[in-house]
Amino acid sequence: MPSTPTSGPADRQSPSGISRRQWLHGVVAAAVGTAAGTAAHGFLYERHRVEVTRAVLAVSGWPDALSGLRVGFITDLHRSALVPHGLVDAAVRLVMNEQPDLIVLGGDYVTWGERRFVQPAADALAPLAAPHGVFGVLGNHDDDRDMPAALEQNGVEMLRDERTRIVVRNEPIDLVGIRYWTRRVADIGRLVRGGVAATILIAHTPSRLVEASALGVPLMLSGHTHGGQVVLPGVGAVAARNFPIVSGAGQRDHTTAFVSRGVGTVYVPIRVACPPEVAILTLKAPELA
């Protein structure tokens, strides 16, 4: 007598007539489709949508006379074949529309030091201007000769392990810019020692928050993380987990820090739940914030 076929666990049907195997195939297909759709959105749309982030930062010891000072911060352009002129141009126009008192550039103007984009990156930033100047540091993707020369030719004062002083509303402000590879407390301390109450450390990577805090630096501005570039629901910014601050404002002891998501992309030309940004930072004394 012929045997009657039996169904395995994966083939059993639900009351709706869908087997477990069919259901699992559907779940996998939906997950793959969602991932593909998210990647496509991140490539085609989100990485081009530059936002203006406006933040008020309470800075320890910040002089009352300087409360309300507005700093435009733009970083991590990564001008390359995958980061076009139009994206950088849009970021520059957004900063200029805000008319900040001074402008800070946080490094990584190109990717992997690619020489053919050095001048285009500098030229895209040429329209930047502010009453109290435009200042910049280099990132880990920038060379130490051609990139700073191109930026300086366009009016940017580059700070390579240097400190400069400006005067705003009759109050001095010290701007300290360090190289990406400058990380010893003693080396940074040499630059900030003897500085005024209103001191701003410009460090490409937020990893320098440890040293800035140890030295009592009031304010640090950084980029480098891209905000993680891809931020997954329930997981977060996997690529930037090891940084003390991934994006936005944070505090360590008496040091306030702001980390920008930056403008461009690196490794993969995708942003997910992490759009590019320029920042307009309003600095205030803690009691006035």
The answer on pLDDT for 23 being more than 80 is no
pLDDT digit string, tens, across residues 68-123: 999 999 999 999 999 999 999 999 999 999 999 999 999 999 999 999 999 999 99
Q: Is residue 27 part of a domain?
A: no
Closest CA to 108 of 242, 246, 229, 266: 266
Domain annotation covers residue 72? yes
Q: Into how many domains does the chain fold?
A: 1
| 126-151: pLDDT as tens digits | 999 999 999 999 999 999 999 999 99
Q: Residue 98 sits in a domain of what CATH number? A: 3.60.21.10
Q: Is pLDDT above 50 for 26?
A: no
Does a structural domain hold residue 28?
A: no
User: Is residue 17 situated within a structural domain?
Assistant: no
Given this model, what pLDDT does residue 20 score? 56
Q: Has residue 56 been placed in a domain?
A: yes
Query: What pTM does this model have?
Result: 0.86
pLDDT > 50? residue 38: no
Q: What percent of the chain has pLDDT over 70?
A: 84
Contact 220, 255 (CB under 8 A): yes
Residue 134: Cβ-neighbour burial (10 angstroms; 0-12, 13-18, 19+): buried
Q: What percent of the chain has pLDDT over 90?
A: 80
Assigned domain for 15 exists: no
Burial class (CB in 10 A: 0-12, 13-18, 19+), 250: middle
Q: What is the distance between the alpha carbons of residues 50 and 95, in angstroms, rounded to a whole number? A: 11
pLDDT value, residue 272? 94
* Chain position carrying tokens 């805000």: 98
Computed over every residue of the chain, the mean pLDDT equals: 89
Give the residues across from 191 on adjacent strands: none
Distances from the Cα of 30 to the Cα of 27, 33, 110, angstroms? 5, 5, 37
Q: Give per-residue pLDDT as tens, 205-215.
A: 999 999 999 99
Q: What is residue 31's predicted lDDT score, i.e. its pLDDT?
A: 35
Domain span at 174: 49-288
In a domain, residue 32? The reply is: no
pLDDT value of residue 17: 53
How much is the average pLDDT of 255-268? 96
Q: What is the pLDDT of residues 213-232, one digit of tens each?
A: 999 999 999 999 999 999 98
Q: Is pLDDT at 24 greater than 50 in this prediction?
A: no
Decide: 248 and 57 in contact? Cβ < 8 Å: no
Instruction: Give, in order, the Cα–Cα distances in Å from 92 to each of 13, 62, 86, 104, 111.
Output: 59, 28, 10, 12, 18
Pairing of strands 51-58, 171-178: unpaired
Q: Could you give the CA distance from residue 3 to residue 243 in angstroms, rounded to a whole number?
A: 64
- Residue 205: exposed, middle, or buried by beta-carbon count in 10 A (0-12, 13-18, 19+)? buried
Grouping H, G, I as helix, E, B as strand and the rest as coil, residue 194 is coil
Residue 129 phi, psi (nearest 5): -155, 145
Q: Does residue 200 belong to any structural domain of this protein?
A: yes
In this prediction, residue 32 carries a pLDDT of 36
Alpha helices in 14-173 (DSSP H): 20-44, 85-98, 118-125, 146-153
The type of residue at 194 is G
Q: Which residues contact 36 (CB under 8 A, 6 or more apart)?
A: none
